[in-house]
């Protein structure tokens, strides 16, 4: 019987911030700061989607094997949800938070 081989591929996206690692890490760790970062008036989401970009709900528990959940809507769009689980947290260095699933909810009349 032939040996079966499985190859998993990964990639890394790096983002460099004009702030200290401690400040950036704290913004990801603190739910109030992260929510403000993602949905405040001057965020990329608002700049890209417009003023009617809406975060409906956000919750997170910043611990390994715990979660982050968002429900949001872009202008004229359906409600969408993003669920992610923290796989690895290295303070001031690394946060591994791959999205678990994206879900779109249809509008019901």
CA distance 84 to 59: 11
Query: Model-level pTM?
Result: 0.67
Q: Which residues, 6 or more positions from 22, have their beta carbon under 8 angstroms from its beta carbon?
A: 92
pLDDT at 100: 66
Q: Read off the pLDDT of each residue in 35-42 and give the average, rounded to a whole number.
A: 76
Give domain 21-105's CATH number out of 3.40.50.720, 3.40.630.10, 3.30.530.20, 3.40.190.10: 3.30.530.20
108 has pLDDT over 50: no
């Amino acid at each position: 019987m032939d040996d079966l081989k499985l190859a998993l591929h990964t990639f890394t996206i790096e983002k460099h911030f004009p702030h200290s690692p401690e400040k950036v890490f704290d913004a990801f760790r603190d739910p109030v700061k992260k929510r403000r970062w993602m949905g405040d008036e001057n965020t990329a989401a608002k700049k890209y989607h417009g003023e009617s970009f809406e975060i409906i709900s956000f919750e997170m528990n910043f611990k390994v094997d715990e979660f982050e959940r968002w429900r949001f809507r872009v202008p004229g769009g359906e409600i969408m949800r993003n669920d992610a689980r923290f796989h690895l947290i290295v303070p001031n260095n690394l946060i591994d938070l791959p999205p678990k699933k994206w879900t779109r909810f249809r509008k019901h009349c």
